[in-house]
Amino acid sequence: MSFTINNNVSAMNANLNLTRRNDALANSLTNLSSGLSINKAADNASGLAIANNLSSQFFQFGQSMMNMNDTVGMLQTADGAMQGISDNTDQIGVLALKASNATLSDANRASIQKEIDGLMKSSDRIANSTSFNGIALLNGSGSSETSADARVSSLFTSPIDVTTQESAMKSLESVDAGRQNIDSIRSSFGAVQNRLESDIRNTSTMQINAAFSESQIRDVDMAAESANFSKANMLSQIGSFVQSQSNASAANVTRLLQ
């Protein structure tokens, strides 16, 4: 066995291995403390790009669901107002039928007409005042699927006049047409709401899948990483011992020359 002084190769090899083990130990400790297997681009360059894309999708899906839920809230506001208009229309129909009774006098029908006029004004107030976040929903100014024209002039085919028995009979046809228009508007709102709720469920599933896929790439396996940490820690201690022994061998050669 030869002894050298100028180059302590064994100590250099021991130092190289120790440096690698310490780097592995530091990397493992970082992963355990952060809970992530990718803490910098160098850890997994392609994985980082994929994980970031999945993360972006996750947040986009979340915002998309918020938007759709807001739209559902808008539709529910509009439909709730339409219920009030529908109730008024039902009452108008009852009053018109009452006015068609041959036993009533003109004075009776005039009183009924006043009540009907009040209900019509109530329906128009509902149509003109119903809004969501400042957006009118039922006055005919909107053009989206979340708006409609529910004003009296649009619902009924002709004015509701019950001042005579004949006009009261004709008004019943207009009331029936108004009911059909109200049902059509509410059916449209309901169809849109059902579609949105289905989209929300589907988007929620996609968001969960995106989060799971990102977790598979980005999150650290704590059990496996703990085992790696224990292994790296042990090898680091062994490397320190080997390096100290290599340095001691060189020192022994020097003492032989004294």
Integer Cα distance of 161 and 174 in angstroms: 10
Residue 1: predicted pLDDT: 47
The 8-class DSSP code of residue 24 comes to H
Q: What sign results for the dihedral spanned by CA atoms 149, 151, 156, 157?
A: negative
Backbone angles phi, psi at 157, to 5 degrees: -75, -20
CATH architecture of 77-203: Up-down Bundle (1.20)
Q: What percentage of the chain carries pLDDT values higher than 90?
A: 63
pLDDT tens-digit map of 149-193? 999 999 999 999 999 999 999 999 999 999 999 999 999 999 999
pTM comes to 0.75
pLDDT band for 30, please (50, 70, 90 cuts): confident
Q: Do residues 72 and 193 make contact, with C-beta atoms less than 8 angstroms apart?
A: yes
Per domain, the residue ranges of the chain are 77-203
SS3 state at 135: strand
Residue 88: CB atoms within 10 A of its CB come to 22
* Structure token pair of residue 15: 């130092």
pLDDT tens-digit map of 37-75? 777 787 788 888 999 999 999 999 999 999 999 999 999
Between 255 and 93, whose confidence is greater? 93
How distant is the alpha carbon of residue 60 from its chain centre?
Answer: 8
Question: What average pLDDT does range 23-28 have in this prediction?
Answer: 66
SS3 state at 102: coil
**Listed residue (85, 71, 73) closest to 150, CA to CA:** 85
* Structure token pair of residue 67: 């938007």
pLDDT mean across residues, the chain:
85
pLDDT of 148 higher than 70: yes
